[in-house]
Structure 1
């Protein structure tokens, strides 16, 4: 994606460390009765279709309830079409599509989207490359102009090509080399699962094959695939249909359909002839893993619905068969899941287990095989079937909240099937799946003879790191690409086609917030919306990690995690079962200052969901056996997190900024503190801080104040505070500390993480809005100063960012990125220089205007979803800010002046107060860093102590 995410098998399943929140879903005891099918209906997407004479398909759907519009262009070209010897090429080309055209200078897409309050992005998958924007509706014509211009006249020169190729190589290092399971899911799984199909090549390619690509290849690739008859245009949002049709005819219809044919790429993956296995070794593997895979069916196959439901039963949530067996009961896996990957021409289902500490992959393999055998040998229960369907239907509803969601759902169905009605039919197809269908597809596809076993183990002296497959053959070759078109160049400004003017502004509407208290002091806020039948609830307590007992970081997080793991009347499996029956999502998580318990469900089951949520909050069991399970899982998550440079830096920054103060320790706990947490600790934490008089309940979505009051009274009205006053906590940030330069040495790290950190402000500080606006200019988007300097201008990173880290007390500002070890010092200098510039020179009005739009546009997009709206309201409540700020937000941002931005940074965030934390292979950069900072502290990762302010 432009955040340049490559979609890959099980990419979302990587165990990257501790989650921010614990979510309960469900598996069902065999004796449970089958619930009735959920009454909620998912409305059809409702797009209209037309086809231009040049072959381009156009789909549109008007929605006057939003102030935004999305424009998406889906090209029928993906990583399967990478020419032989050029793996990663479609993805590399995706990056280049954000550069210049004959009528637009480089980075114009960011000016046209981010700078007006919108966003743009893209992704490359096996079969498709898609580009999408969301902008205020009055900017629709400008985006159509821009998308047509880059389809017809992309400009790429040698320096731009080389720079962006370097960025992709940094992405490879970050996603593949620096991530402990990046090689497994990004490289080794696809190359093992597929024998002949080009799906076996990684979408991100390899550094060697990226280096072999040339500018001539780029121009020919564009000429081959980026053409109107190979594209689908999708527009959804607030627009006039006749006006849209006219603009499409004006900008896209003149593009010519080339006479050259598209290369043929329809490889048939052979049926498996017997079981296969492979073992791979890699550096930086904290816990071994095993994956089992089976070749299944392509996306359009009639068995996809049954396999989708099967996967839901197998691995969706804590009630799933895999979680219940491997994580909950046997406790042999830190994480387990499965992923059905249905591509256009072939598919697979992969089940994996990342083993718990000390557990061998053989145990994981046996346990995975046992659960797959159960699916083949025994029909699933009617309850399991109904629960999986309910959850799939509810997720389909959540996936249609925003105009962007609906357009993306349509685009994927079109690419995979060519049928615009396919996305709507999929819901009915899922609802029609029977228990016999699930067993049939298990017996047909998930057999021992078809099984592929992949073991992933730490490299050592006897087993060096496994090497990525190179020079893999492919059906498309460079010679098959069309001849390059005449090279486009950026026209002189006087000769460029005039960019259309923006139309009249469509302002986002904010709802009127109902605000009342129950008799027990519980504050209730209600933010009603019209649209889909979804409702969200957030219950917040003044109970964050800063309230952890001294010397026991992680108690707040553990208390939140245990809420879904049993009450006085329900076991953890029963809770998970109940939620999946409802198609609901309920979970809890803690931050530095607060704990948030949340629920999201279709409206027709929301009252039952809130009742269950109340039981979790009011009657947690905190069973010792559940605490021990959570401790084991948390420790495994920490071991994985502490194998990644970025995560190590993130967990260390608190100690550098706050020392021994309550804010200092990692909120999720440490390897030493988590095992020391007792049941008495979490029970006491809950008893002292979970009290209605200091809680806020926020409802948002398809609910009104009357309904909300009745629900709140029923669920929480008779809840009373415990005896005694709530504990108070002063000075969470502690005294200011001198800056430090800390290197955490991780030999062989795939990249270095570089973070500059210092104290910022609390959320209620008078300079909050100047700092928020300034931070957006510094590091709050693709076109921010940090990203421009480090990624765009120099190609040193996949992305750089900054955040204020606001809290009740002084927050933790960070500016961060990851880069190759060789450039860690250079990048650190660049970060500090940009931070310093914020406080020493005023930004220009021209610079701040687009950053204002960025903030206001992001605010408007949050209003489109029930969870986004609820989060905005909850934030105001948490910091005791007036609800009027919701309606005033845009005006508060617009009122900030350049002088206020500079003054706020000079006062609160001067660069000379910043500490540096660098995590990577110190042998590569330490001498250069020591020359600049003679007092640099070097701490081997093996000696890192997050329980100490000294980090030793």
Structure 2
């Protein structure tokens, strides 16, 4: 059967065209009336908050002083085992930065019972992961495996943590790799800005030294240094271990007792450098000159709060408003308003003895002075002017709303629990984080900013082509400037120049 066809006369066609035009104009008019300019000034409303219930946990101590934390998490047939030692790069021997990280690099590169190849083959054969290393306050060994391989993971972790071989040939191989990595790092303006910033903020305290050491210090590290660090700090009564995942509490504690219960305790040495050696915030501007650079890396901040300070959460929220998740005034001004950068941020890092506040961005070289002035002005504004309830609520909604996502895996839970234990925090504060964040008021934000933010005493680092912007800095209020050629940079010298007097 043929489809029926409709024939139209010219009059019909004209009428249809007119009707179509009228309809089109009506639609366009309606769309124009509803048009929204992008980007919107207001973000979409946050999703409904998810109720968060922290998994059941237990804490026990073995006879040798090892603290064991168990957290049940049965959504996946996996187990995360994480051990941390309360000794990291801040415990490096005086004058030898880099020892802790060197030890950490060697832990899985052969033990007295397994070769490096055997360790790698064993963990790979079960589809697991083994990690080792050192950070500022801690050294670590961790393993992630399926539930059926829990006992094997414990065996490996115990062997790697307790019996590293420190084979001379492996030491030299790792030393070569580290020295080669310095050549790459010293070409990275972000790395240079970071290590110089830490040096300005913390002075000659171990917090101020590069965590991986310097080329000179790494060349000087001996096998005896590595063995001594391990013998001194890798002790059960200086360690924490978290077992998180699809095992019972009895299985977790029995497994740890089996492989680590006979680990002898020892005398734990306190840090050689105390908080009294960390300088007070002092205004200083250092330019690391890299001729020909087309961008300038900007870092500004000062010494701040230790992680267990009562004001840490409130001040951290203030810094989030300045340049973090859920807020970020710096990005709004530097990127959106001024088009001076692609990104800008601010962060608060808390350690055992102290901490630091850091604001950072990159900008095109000729805009260096303007970007720096804007950044410092925003820091001062946060201290001077009370934040609005609307701005605070935006940051709170983001942080409280996204928090449950950060605790969805055994690894994430283990890391959060061990962090709390390391810094002496109550584990209940983990589950209560959303409520504690949402309870902060604008008045409390202003009080914390006034007490702990010091815009007149910022340590500032600029890494870029000094010849392009150095003359612009006095015009925007920065007239005391130190310029250090990148080829002459020496982090152990008070003036940061090679050939200068060495620090203590």
TM-score tier by shorter-chain length is: 0.7 to 0.9
Deviates more, 1:731-740 or 1:690-699: 731-740
**How do 1:44-59 residues align onto structure 2 when only pairs under 5 Å count?**
none
Aligned counterparts of 2:159 and 2:378: Cα–Cα separation in 1: 50
Q: Which residue of structure 2 lines up, in the alignment, with residue 624 of structure 1?
A: 168
SS at match of 1:693: helix
Q: Which residue of structure 1 lines up, in the alignment, with residue 111 of structure 2?
A: 567
Q: Which residue of structure 2 lines up, in the alignment, with residue 321 of structure 1?
A: none
Relative distance call for 1:104 and 1:946 in structure 2 (3 A) is: farther
**How do 1:390-469 residues align onto structure 2 when only pairs under 5 Å count?**
none
- Structure 1 residue 103: Cα displacement: 6.0
Q: Which residue of structure 2 lines up, in the alignment, with residue 927 of structure 1?
A: 471
Q: Which residue of structure 1 lines up, in the alignment, with residue 15 of structure 2?
A: none
- Structure 1 residue 530: Cα displacement: 2.6
- Structure 1 residue 792: Cα displacement: 2.0
Aligned counterparts of 2:210 and 2:480: Cα–Cα separation in 1: 25
SS at match of 2:436: helix
Aligned counterparts of 1:844 and 1:782: Cα–Cα separation in 2: 14
- 1:838 aligned onto 2:382: yes
1:785 to 326, 329, 351: 329
- Structure 1 residue 950: Cα displacement: 2.5
1:776 to 315, 320, 331: 320
1:796 to 340, 350, 356: 340
- 1:611 aligned onto 2:150: no
SS at match of 1:611: helix
Q: Which residue of structure 1 lines up, in the alignment, with residue 493 of structure 2?
A: 948
Aligned counterparts of 2:66 and 2:279: Cα–Cα separation in 1: 34
Q: Does the 8 A contact of 2:99 with 2:226 survive in 1?
A: yes
- Structure 1 residue 550: Cα displacement: 0.9
Aligned counterparts of 1:951 and 1:109: Cα–Cα separation in 2: 45
Q: Which protein is bigger by CA-based radius of gyration? A: 2
1:762 to 279, 288, 306: 306
Aligned counterparts of 2:40 and 2:140: Cα–Cα separation in 1: 40
2:360 to 811, 816, 833: 816
Q: After superposition, what is the alpha-carbon deviation per residue over 1:134-186, rounded to whole angstroms, capped at 9, x for unaligned?
A: xx5x3xxxxxxxxxxxxxxxxxxxxxxxxxxxxxxxxxxxxxxxxxxxxxxxx
Q: Which residue of structure 2 lines up, in the alignment, with residue 578 of structure 1?
A: 122
Aligned counterparts of 1:875 and 1:107: Cα–Cα separation in 2: 38
**How do 1:431-510 residues align onto structure 2 when only pairs under 5 Å count?**
505-510=49-54
Q: Does the 8 A contact of 2:326 with 2:395 survive in 1?
A: no
Relative distance call for 1:109 and 1:717 in structure 2 (3 A) is: farther
SS at match of 1:735: coil
Relative distance call for 1:938 and 1:668 in structure 2 (3 A) is: same
Q: Which residue of structure 2 lines up, in the alignment, with residue 856 of structure 1?
A: 400
Q: Does the 8 A contact of 1:656 with 1:949 survive in 2?
A: no
Q: Which residue of structure 1 lines up, in the alignment, with residue 18 of structure 2?
A: none
**How do 1:860-879 residues align onto structure 2 when only pairs under 5 Å count?**
860-879=404-423
Q: Does the 8 A contact of 1:780 with 1:801 survive in 2?
A: yes
Relative distance call for 1:785 and 1:602 in structure 2 (3 A) is: same
Relative distance call for 1:102 and 1:690 in structure 2 (3 A) is: farther
Relative distance call for 1:819 and 1:631 in structure 2 (3 A) is: same
Aligned counterparts of 1:654 and 1:561: Cα–Cα separation in 2: 23
**How do 1:43-192 residues align onto structure 2 when only pairs under 5 Å count?**
106-108=38-40, 111-112=43-44, 116=46, 136=47, 138=48
Relative distance call for 1:933 and 1:616 in structure 2 (3 A) is: same
Q: Does the 8 A contact of 1:658 with 1:737 survive in 2?
A: no
Q: After superposition, what is the alpha-carbon deviation per residue over 1:674-722, rounded to whole angstroms, capped at 9, x for unaligned?
A: 1111111111111111111121111222223112112211121111123
Q: After superposition, what is the alpha-carbon deviation per residue over 1:97-117, rounded to whole angstroms, capped at 9, x for unaligned?
A: xxxx966554559823xx73x
Relative distance call for 1:662 and 1:709 in structure 2 (3 A) is: same
SS at match of 2:298: strand
Aligned counterparts of 1:543 and 1:940: Cα–Cα separation in 2: 34
- Structure 1 residue 808: Cα displacement: 0.8
Aligned counterparts of 1:688 and 1:532: Cα–Cα separation in 2: 37
Aligned counterparts of 2:416 and 2:37: Cα–Cα separation in 1: 36
Q: Does the 8 A contact of 2:281 with 2:458 survive in 1?
A: no
Aligned counterparts of 2:345 and 2:315: Cα–Cα separation in 1: 15
**How do 1:695-706 residues align onto structure 2 when only pairs under 5 Å count?**
695-706=239-250
- Structure 1 residue 869: Cα displacement: 1.4
Aligned counterparts of 1:626 and 1:798: Cα–Cα separation in 2: 42
1:641 to 185, 195, 203: 185
SS at match of 1:510: coil
* TM-score, length of structure 1 as denominator length: 0.47
Relative distance call for 1:103 and 1:601 in structure 2 (3 A) is: farther
Relative distance call for 1:677 and 1:519 in structure 2 (3 A) is: same
- Structure 1 residue 727: Cα displacement: 3.5
**Structure of higher RCO (CA pairs closer than 8 Å, 6+ residues apart):** 2
Q: Which residue of structure 2 lines up, in the alignment, with residue 225 of structure 1?
A: none
Q: Does the 8 A contact of 2:281 with 2:302 survive in 1?
A: no
Which 5+ residue runs of structure 1 have no aligned equivalent? 1-100, 117-135, 139-504
Relative distance call for 1:703 and 1:798 in structure 2 (3 A) is: farther
1:897 to 431, 441, 444: 441
Aligned counterparts of 1:570 and 1:878: Cα–Cα separation in 2: 30
Q: After superposition, what is the alpha-carbon deviation per residue over 1:232-283, rounded to whole angstroms, capped at 9, x for unaligned?
A: xxxxxxxxxxxxxxxxxxxxxxxxxxxxxxxxxxxxxxxxxxxxxxxxxxxx
**How do 1:733-744 residues align onto structure 2 when only pairs under 5 Å count?**
734-744=278-288
Relative distance call for 1:784 and 1:105 in structure 2 (3 A) is: farther
Relative distance call for 1:850 and 1:105 in structure 2 (3 A) is: farther
- 1:731 aligned onto 2:270: no
Relative distance call for 1:752 and 1:699 in structure 2 (3 A) is: same
- Structure 1 residue 790: Cα displacement: 1.1
1:659 to 176, 194, 203: 203
Q: Does the 8 A contact of 1:655 with 1:948 survive in 2?
A: no
**How do 1:643-722 residues align onto structure 2 when only pairs under 5 Å count?**
643-722=187-266
* TM-score, length of structure 2 as denominator length: 0.88
SS at match of 1:567: coil
Aligned counterparts of 1:680 and 1:923: Cα–Cα separation in 2: 46
1:590 to 134, 140, 143: 134
Q: Which consecutive segments of 4 or more residues in structure 1 shift more than 6 A?
A: none
Q: Does the 8 A contact of 1:552 with 1:669 survive in 2?
A: yes
Aligned counterparts of 2:417 and 2:37: Cα–Cα separation in 1: 40
Relative distance call for 1:102 and 1:771 in structure 2 (3 A) is: farther
1:937 to 479, 482, 492: 482
Q: Which residue of structure 2 lines up, in the alignment, with residue 50 of structure 1?
A: none
Q: Does the 8 A contact of 1:622 with 1:683 survive in 2?
A: yes
Q: Does the 8 A contact of 1:655 with 1:951 survive in 2?
A: no
- Structure 1 residue 730: Cα displacement: 4.8
SS at match of 2:80: strand
Deviates more, 1:641-650 or 1:697-706: 697-706
Q: Which residue of structure 2 lines up, in the alignment, with residue 746 of structure 1?
A: 290
Which 5+ residue runs of structure 2 have no aligned equivalent? 1-32, 498-504
Relative distance call for 1:694 and 1:665 in structure 2 (3 A) is: same
Q: After superposition, what is the alpha-carbon deviation per residue over 1:267-300, rounded to whole angstroms, capped at 9, x for unaligned?
A: xxxxxxxxxxxxxxxxxxxxxxxxxxxxxxxxxx
Q: After superposition, what is the alpha-carbon deviation per residue over 1:367-405, rounded to whole angstroms, capped at 9, x for unaligned?
A: xxxxxxxxxxxxxxxxxxxxxxxxxxxxxxxxxxxxxxx
Q: Does the 8 A contact of 1:762 with 1:810 survive in 2?
A: yes
